[in-house]
Amino acid sequence: MTTILMVGTRKGLWVGRSDDREDWSFTGPHHDMEEVYSCLVDTRGSAPRLFAGASSSWLGPQLRWSDDLGETWQETPNGAIRFPEGAGATVERIWQVVPGAGEGVLHAGTEPGAVFTSRDGGATFALEEGLWNHPHRAEWGAGFGGQAFHTVLPHPSDPSSMTVAISTGGVYRTTDGGASWEPRNQGIRADFLPEDQRYPEFGQCVHKVTRHPSRPERLYAQNHGGVYRSDDEGGSWTSIGDDLPSDFGFPIVVHPHQPDTIWVFPLGGGDRRYPPGAEPRVWRSDDAGESWTPYGKGLPEAFYVGVMRDAMCADSHDPAGLYFGARNGSVWASADDGESWRQIAADLPDVMSVKAGVA
């Protein structure tokens, strides 16, 4: 089978292919000089469909798709992802594109903070108005990266349920198809707030949330300070970052076959956004965050750049492949559950999104 890797950067998209996860060939740049913050390899159909959320400084954002692994691209009609008249907002970036629970269902998270849903394969999208009209929205911050729903997690079997996360607003969930949304942040600490206000109902700076489809009630979160697990779909959270060299980072990835196995890429902190000691390590837990092991075989000795929230992912092979792209334009791959690494691309622009699929 062919492994497909999409690498979105601030100056275009690269598409990689490999039959053995050792030798890779890349094409690109696609959508040259456009920011590509979101990618998706959608393998639900008879052939993989690639989606790219690109943003042009002149023409604005556009969701594009390809059915021939990037040889040709189509644009969604009329921009597709846009606010309705009277909303008082304009889509600036598409931060997330994910498949929904159902044929042809897609969800997109945007900047400013909103979620859109398509039920026709991406031809049209509708704003999740219950979330957009939430009374908390006026108090959501923007963070240094902008205000965006960077995490969209449809429930794998319940189409009426979805969990989303925004920086800096926190985690929210709907169980009634988007009509209403409740904050799900109990136990998450907001270190940037005054000491007596550090466990607010909402306002946490969540960097990424993930879950495994076989355990949808369990969530893992990487925050702006703090790594957490929830066993009740965000109703309460427990810190699992004590054994890490730093609990600051951006991505958190769950193993495709093992819901207790997760990976993170710790950084030195909000003021040192490179690995602690400049030593790049991917840390893996095989017991849902109770303990952690670092892996760095094949990674460089010194690494003074970070890995962003959507720039690390896993494929569906067994053993799993793990991939990350860094802000120096390098892309790294592991074919053994993250235990050893090799560089498969270099000198690309600033990497913002890395997504894998197997076809």
pLDDT value for 287: 98
Q: What is the pLDDT of residues 204-256, one digit of tens each?
A: 999 999 999 999 999 999 999 999 999 999 999 999 999 999 999 999 999 99
User: Is the distance from CB of 98 to CB of 40 less than 8 angstroms?
Assistant: yes
Q: Give me the domains of the chain, ranges plus CATH numbers.
A: 3-358 (2.130.10.10)
Parallel/antiparallel/unpaired status of strands 106-111 and 3-9: unpaired
Torsion (CA) 310, 306, 183, 256 in degrees, nearest 10: 40
Answer yes or no: is pLDDT of 271 > 80: no
- pLDDT tens for 138-157 read 999 887 778 899 999 999 99
Decide if 185 contacts 202 (C-beta within 8 A): yes
d(CA 4, CA 274): 28
The residue count for the chain: 359
What's the pLDDT at 78? 67
Mean pLDDT of 48-76: 93
**Rounded mean pLDDT of the chain?**
95
CA dihedral 64, 67, 69, 72 (to 10 degrees): -60
pLDDT band at 350 (very low <50, low <70, confident <90, very high): very high
Q: Is the pLDDT of residue 29 over 90?
A: yes
pLDDT of the residue at 59: 85
Give the C-alpha distances (Å, rounded to integers) separating 323 from 19, 31, 72, 326, 332: 16, 22, 25, 10, 6
What's the pLDDT score for residue 189? 92
The span from the CA of 176 to the CA of 303, in Å, is 45
Give pLDDT, residue 102.
87
Q: Does pLDDT of 48 surpass 80? A: yes
Q: Quick one: 32 exposed, middle or buried, by C-beta within 10 A (0-12, 13-18, 19+)?
A: exposed
pTM of the model: 0.96
How far apart CA 9 and CA 349 sit, in angstroms, is 6
Characterize the bridge pairing of strands 106-111 and 248-254.
Answer: unpaired
- pLDDT (mean) for 86-99: 95
pLDDT at 57 over 90: no
* Arithmetic mean of pLDDT, 64-87: 90
Mean pLDDT, to the nearest integer, of 261-279?
Answer: 92
